[in-house]
């Protein structure tokens, strides 16, 4: 259990303290799901594994208990549907149930379980809604088993790629045969696709996986969008030479140039308000007594603003070229990966803001530097995200931790966001 505060924490808004019991249930359920693991002393649950099937079963039980009709779609995603008045459009709440190896117990899982808790409350209070609600536990987000991320949310969004069927896992099992073993028809995964006119939107609660909310001393935040990323490999080529006999002014030192480059990357990112990282720097030949002749340097540039990300990339590459030219070094750039940023829908951000405002908490917006299912779902409907604080920003790590009260905050925010979206929809259709 990760409950760190007592249930009677003083000076919590009433709406939040009312959610403490439900938050305690969520934390217990996170622990139960954590026991479904392929690693004996750690958490690991990958797409279409035996543990994935067991997690779907466990979650189906909770969906049913909360008054929903549970089902598994053609991609192996688990769904619960709540439509007491026969509603035919749906607001979808959820996240993913798979994990990285040696994972924490909240990444993704918390969003699925919070969705179930919200429906449970709406069903108990008999709240009338102008749309139905679906809760989803996507089977794959992390890309661990087959090396491709967001496969399940892409199936939902209608962008499943059938060429993925040939992908293999570590043991050589193809995605096609893994689907068959799981009881799915590989040729029919495309049927998991939803039609946009059936969807009101997708709302995902997730741990922040970063340190910002903790630094701001806030339990919850509104996600503005999910950052896009550009990844490149920059190769600096100079001349490897004797470290004793080559005078300083006659060197073409690739590493000295790259070092300037790293500093320039940091300065440019700070000036533009984006993030840019050099995560790898390999100097060759790598002798203590050799002037480095060649350096391979990775560059990762991200922003929620597509134009700013492109501007950042261009400014950085222009600066690196100048540094290289000044030192007689040649430079080569190879793109490795590019993903566009995804914005959270304005009306969903506002609904989350109204909810948080109603809880008397400061409304704080932040971008997501990590990818999420919402990224894939955004191609089929509007998306919104709520972040909750996690200790030290730690994630993809068994030390991942959330507090009981923060889960109650997140739950209250999610519940009230649903109510605001419902009010807006009812008002717009009047
Ligand atoms: Zn996640």
- DSSP, residue by residue, 42-53: S----TTSHHHH
Q: Tell me how far the alpha carbon of residue 97 lies from the centroid of ligand 1, in angstroms.
A: 9
Q: How far does Cα 426 stand from its chain's mean position?
A: 31
Q: Tell me how far the alpha carbon of residue 148 lies from the centroid of ligand 1, in angstroms.
A: 14
Q: Tell me how far the alpha carbon of residue 111 lies from the centroid of ligand 1, in angstroms.
A: 9
Q: Tell me how far the alpha carbon of residue 107 lies from the centroid of ligand 1, in angstroms.
A: 5
Mean pLDDT for the chain?
95
Superfamily for the 14-226+341-428 domain:
Zn peptidases (3.40.630.10)
Band the pLDDT of 291: cuts 50, 70, 90. Answer: very high
What number is the average pLDDT over the span 89-103? 97
What number is the average pLDDT over the span 136-142? 96
Q: Tell me how far the alpha carbon of residue 284 lies from the centroid of ligand 1, in angstroms.
A: 37
What number is the average pLDDT over the span 197-226? 97
Closest residue by Cα to residue 417 from 150, 197, 93 = 93
Q: Tell me how far the alpha carbon of residue 131 lies from the centroid of ligand 1, in angstroms.
A: 26
Backbone angles phi, psi at 306, to 5 degrees: -60, -40
Distance CA 255, CA 57 (A): 54
What number is the average pLDDT over the span 201-222? 97
CATH number of this structure's domain 228-339, picked from the four choices 3.40.50.1100, 2.40.50.140, 3.90.1210.10, 3.30.70.360: 3.30.70.360
Q: Tell me how far the alpha carbon of residue 147 lies from the centroid of ligand 1, in angstroms.
A: 15
pLDDT score recorded for residue 170 = 93
Q: Tell me how far the alpha carbon of residue 322 lies from the centroid of ligand 1, in angstroms.
A: 39
Q: Tell me how far the alpha carbon of residue 283 lies from the centroid of ligand 1, in angstroms.
A: 34
Band the pLDDT of 315: cuts 50, 70, 90. Answer: very high
- pLDDT greater than 50 at residue 320: yes
What number is the average pLDDT over the span 129-152? 95
Q: Tell me how far the alpha carbon of residue 104 lies from the centroid of ligand 1, in angstroms.
A: 10
pLDDT score recorded for residue 11 = 84
Q: Tell me how far the alpha carbon of residue 264 lies from the centroid of ligand 1, in angstroms.
A: 32
Band the pLDDT of 3: cuts 50, 70, 90. Answer: very low
Q: Tell me how far the alpha carbon of residue 45 lies from the centroid of ligand 1, in angstroms.
A: 13
> What does 95-112 look like in DSSP terms, one character per residue?
EE----TT--S-TTHHHH
Q: Within 10 A of 188 (CB to CB), how many other CB atoms are there?
A: 11
pLDDT score recorded for residue 429 = 83
Q: Tell me how far the alpha carbon of residue 157 lies from the centroid of ligand 1, in angstroms.
A: 17
Q: Tell me how far the alpha carbon of residue 307 lies from the centroid of ligand 1, in angstroms.
A: 26
What number is the average pLDDT over the span 325-352? 95
What number is the average pLDDT over the span 335-361? 95
pLDDT in tens, 49-76: 999 999 999 999 999 999 999 999 999 9
What residues contact residue 99 under an 8 Å CB cut-off, 6+ apart?
43, 44, 45, 46, 107, 108, 109, 142, 144
Q: Tell me how far the alpha carbon of residue 96 lies from the centroid of ligand 1, in angstroms.
A: 6
pTM of the model: 0.88
What number is the average pLDDT over the span 142-170? 95
Closest residue by Cα to residue 320 from 278, 274, 369, 280 = 278
Q: Tell me how far the alpha carbon of residue 100 lies from the centroid of ligand 1, in angstroms.
A: 9
pLDDT score recorded for residue 10 = 62
What number is the average pLDDT over the span 375-386? 97
What residues contact residue 342 under an 8 Å CB cut-off, 6+ apart?
225, 226, 228, 374, 375, 378, 383
Q: Tell me how far the alpha carbon of residue 281 lies from the centroid of ligand 1, in angstroms.
A: 28
pLDDT score recorded for residue 430 = 77
Are 157 and 193 spatial neighbours (Cβ–Cβ below 8 Å)? yes
Q: Tell me how far the alpha carbon of residue 142 lies from the centroid of ligand 1, in angstroms.
A: 7
What number is the average pLDDT over the span 188-194? 98
- pLDDT greater than 80 at residue 276: yes
pLDDT score recorded for residue 2 = 43
Same fold, 14-226+341-428 and 228-339: no
Are 112 and 135 spatial neighbours (Cβ–Cβ below 8 Å)? yes
Q: pLDDT exceeding 90 applies to what percent of the chain?
A: 94
Q: Tell me how far the alpha carbon of residue 12 lies from the centroid of ligand 1, in angstroms.
A: 28
- pLDDT greater than 70 at residue 422: yes
Collapsing DSSP states into helix, strand and coil, what is residue 227?
coil
Closest residue by Cα to residue 81 from 96, 73, 70, 97 = 70
User: How many Cα neighbours within 13 Å face the side chain of 230?
Assistant: 23
pLDDT score recorded for residue 97 = 98
Backbone angles phi, psi at 257, to 5 degrees: -65, -45
Q: Tell me how far the alpha carbon of residue 117 lies from the centroid of ligand 1, in angstroms.
A: 19
Backbone angles phi, psi at 342, to 5 degrees: -125, 125
Backbone angles phi, psi at 225, to 5 degrees: 180, 175
Q: Tell me how far the alpha carbon of residue 130 lies from the centroid of ligand 1, in angstroms.
A: 29
Q: Tell me how far the alpha carbon of residue 141 lies from the centroid of ligand 1, in angstroms.
A: 7
Distances in Å between the alpha carbon of 208 and those of 40, 56, 85, 359, 366?
27, 24, 35, 19, 10
To which residue do tokens 């997140």 refer? 410
Residue 263, sorted as left (phi over 0), alpha (psi -120 to 50) or beta, turns out to be alpha
Q: Within 10 A of 303 (CB to CB), how many other CB atoms are there?
A: 26
User: How many Cα neighbours within 13 Å face the side chain of 197?
Assistant: 0
Distances in Å between the alpha carbon of 186 and those of 137, 157, 162, 190, 294?
19, 17, 9, 9, 46
Q: Tell me how far the alpha carbon of residue 372 lies from the centroid of ligand 1, in angstroms.
A: 6
What number is the average pLDDT over the span 171-181? 98
- pLDDT greater than 90 at residue 9: no
**According to the 3-state scheme, what is the secondary structure of 109-167?**
HHHHHHHHHHHHHHHHHCCCCCCEEEEEEECCCCCCCCCCCCHHHHHHHCCCCHHHHHC
- pLDDT greater than 80 at residue 7: no
To which residue do tokens 């090396």 refer? 147
Q: Tell me how far the alpha carbon of residue 30 lies from the centroid of ligand 1, in angstroms.
A: 14
pLDDT score recorded for residue 108 = 98
Distance CA 116, CA 109 (A): 11
The secondary element (H helix, E strand) that includes residue 349 is: helix 346-358
Q: Domains of the chain: which residue ranges?
A: 14-226+341-428, 228-339
Q: Tell me how far the alpha carbon of residue 108 lies from the centroid of ligand 1, in angstroms.
A: 4
Q: Tell me how far the alpha carbon of residue 99 lies from the centroid of ligand 1, in angstroms.
A: 8
Closest residue by Cα to residue 204 from 130, 127, 107 = 107
pLDDT score recorded for residue 339 = 86
Closest residue by Cα to residue 230 from 274, 281, 295, 263 = 274
Cα angle: 215, vertex 218, 219; to 5 degrees:
125
User: How many Cα neighbours within 13 Å face the side chain of 161?
Assistant: 9
């Amino acid at each position: 259990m990760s409950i760190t505060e007592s249930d009677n924490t003083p000076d919590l808004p009433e709406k939040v303290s009312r959610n403490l019991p439900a938050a305690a249930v969520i934390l217990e359920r996170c622990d139960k799901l954590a026991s479904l693991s392929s690693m004996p002393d750690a958490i690991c649950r990958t797409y279409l594994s035996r543990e994935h099937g067991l997690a779907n079963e466990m979650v189906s039980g909770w969906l049913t208990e909360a008054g929903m009709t549970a089902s598994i779609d053609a991609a192996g995603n688990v769904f619960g549907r709540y439509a007491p008045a026969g509603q035919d459009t749906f607001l979808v709440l959820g996240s993913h149930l798979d994990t990285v190896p040696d994972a924490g117990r909240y990444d993704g899982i918390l969003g699925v379980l919070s969705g179930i808790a919200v429906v449970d409350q709406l069903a108990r209070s008999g709240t009338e809604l102008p749309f139905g609600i679906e809760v989803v536990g996507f089977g794959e987000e992390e890309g661990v088993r087959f090396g491709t991320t967001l496969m399940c949310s892409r199936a939902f969004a209608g962008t499943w790629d059938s060429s993925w069927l040939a992908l293999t896992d570590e043991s050589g099992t193809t995605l096609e045969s893994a689907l068959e073993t799981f009881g799915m028809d590989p040729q029919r995964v495309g049927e998991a696709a939803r039609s946009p006119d059936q969807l009101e939107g997708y709302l995902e609660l997730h741990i922040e996986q970063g340190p910002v909310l903790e630094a701001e001393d806030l339990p919850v935040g509104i996600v503005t969008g999910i950052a896009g990323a550009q990844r490149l490999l920059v190769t600096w080529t100079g001349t490897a030479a004797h470290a004793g006999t080559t005078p300083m002014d006659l060197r073409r030192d690739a590493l000295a140039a790259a070092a300037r480059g790293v500093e320039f990357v940091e300065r440019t990112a700070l000036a533009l308000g984006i993030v840019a990282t050099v995560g790898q720097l390999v100097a060759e030949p790598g002798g203590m007594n050799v002037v480095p002749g060649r350096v391979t340097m990775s560059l990762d540039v991200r922003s929620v603003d597509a134009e700013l990300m492109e501007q950042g990339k261009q400014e950085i590459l222009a600066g690196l070229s100048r540094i290289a030219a000044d030192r007689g070094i040649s430079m080569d750039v190879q793109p490795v990966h590019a993903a566009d940023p995804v914005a959270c829908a304005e009306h969903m951000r506002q609904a989350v803001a109204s909810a948080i405002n109603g809880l008397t908490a400061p409304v704080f917006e932040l971008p997501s530097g990590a990818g999420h299912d919402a990224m894939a779902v955004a191609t089929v409907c509007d998306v919104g995200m709520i972040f909750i604080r996690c200790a030290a920003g730690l994630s993809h790590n068994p030390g991942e931790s959330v507090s009981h009260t923060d889960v109650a905050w997140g739950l209250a925010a999610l519940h009230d966001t649903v109510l605001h979206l419902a009010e807006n929809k009812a008002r717009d259709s009047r």
